[in-house]
Amino acid sequence: MRIIDAVSRRAAAGKPFLSLEFFPPKEREFRPGFFETVDRLRAIEPLFVSVTYGAGGSSRANTLEIAAALAERGLTPMAHLTCVGADAASLREFLENLRAAGVCNVLALRGDLPQDGSGSLGEFVHAADLVRFVRREFPDFCIGVSAYPYPHPESVGFTQDRRATAQKFAAGADFAVTQLFFDHREYVAYVESMRGLGVAAPILPGVLPVQSLESLRRILSLSGCNIPAKLYLTLEEAQQKGGSEAVREAGIAFAVEQIRRLLESGAPGVHLYSLNKADMCLRIASEIGRL
């Protein structure tokens, strides 16, 4: 099933949804545990499930195999795909294999540049180049792209970054999933400004439940997004009073409130960064009344 069709149907019916992001287990021995997690999360009835793609193509086969296995289980998967340093032949092969496995949804990404500044970008400089390629060679595919309520760390500023995202839609993208953020008003303002740039497509907010202060610091340094002072102080206080368990609880409580506010603000649904954690996702789904 094409995700854009499913999202449009739910939006027309006024029925918001949850979708889930998974990362493929690195080692095969962890796959049974991973599929147990997936099976438990069926209770949420995710509209679709996305499978991340290792930087530099390190887990290309993993992404493909896991997406194929999720399709076999009757779910609607979307494979992430990065194009930095890739050539057309390898991208074509990946997409052909995906199609053969019954998966026709792809999140077209540029990917992170090598940290040491080495390596050339190759034929595909921006994610829009990959979108154009997929649209031309795989016209039956549904194409998702990334979107940044707080601009991407490399960008010059809000306006340039939003125009760059609009170019991905001009190139043929069907919908976007946002980078994590913590203030629902950032999403509302972002959607408004994208509509102002002529983008009418669905923009799905990505929500990450904070699990620990260490992971939060790592994520903030990678994504460059903002954290509201109130949330940071709440997490810090939780750490002092109740340790890591209290931080996790506070992170979940915040995610629940954020999702409620996003749905009240008109988001068609929420893409939950599952961290492959069934209990956490089931708890969140239950608290927002989705179970």
Chain residues in the site for ligand FAD (CB under 6 A): 52-53, 55, 80, 82, 107, 109-112, 126-128, 146, 152, 154-155, 160-161, 164, 167, 177, 179, 206
Q: Which is nearer to ligand FAD, 52 or 105 (CB)?
A: 52
Lookup: tokens for 84: 């930095």
Nearer to ligand FAD, 131 or 238 (CB): 131
What's the closest the beta carbon of residue 25 comes to ligand FAD, in angstroms?
A: 14
Q: Rounded to the nearest whole angstrom, what is the least distance from the CB of residue 29 to ligand FAD in the complex?
A: 22
Q: Residue 205 to residues 58, 84, 171: CA-CA distances in angstroms?
A: 27, 24, 21
CA distance 95 to 138: 8
DSSP 8-state class, residue 17: E
**How many CB atoms neighbour CB 159 within 10 A?**
12
| Least separation in angstroms between CB 125 and ligand FAD | 8
Locate all alpha helices (DSSP H) within 45-126, ordered by sequence: 60-72, 88-100
Give which of 160, 161, 154 is closest to 176, Cα–Cα. Answer: 161
- Pick 16 or 111: Cβ nearer ligand FAD: 111
Q: How far is the CB of 246 from ligand FAD (least distance, A)?
A: 29
- What is the distance in angstroms between the CA of the first residue and the CA of the last residue of the chain? 23
What whole-number distance in Å separates Cα of residue 231 and Cα of residue 227? 7
In angstroms, give the least distance from the CB of 39 to ligand FAD: 22
Handedness of CA 20, 112, 226, 173 (dihedral sign): negative
With respect to ligand FAD, which residue has the nearer C-beta, 203 or 247? 203
Task: Give, for 235, the enclosing helix (H) or strand (E).
Answer: helix 229-264
Rank residues 104 and 164 by Cβ distance to ligand FAD and give the closer one: 164
What ranges make up the beta strands (E) of 68-212?
77-82, 105-109, 142-147, 175-178, 203-204, 206-207
Nearer to ligand FAD, 61 or 291 (CB): 61
Provide the token pair at 19: 């979708």
Rounded distance between C-alpha atoms, residue 70 and residue 265, angstroms? 31
- In the complex, least distance from residue 69 CB atom to ligand FAD, rounded to whole angstroms: 17
Our answer to whether residue 93 is catalytic in this structure is no
Contact yes or no for 276/37 (Cβ under 8 A): yes
Active site residues: 21
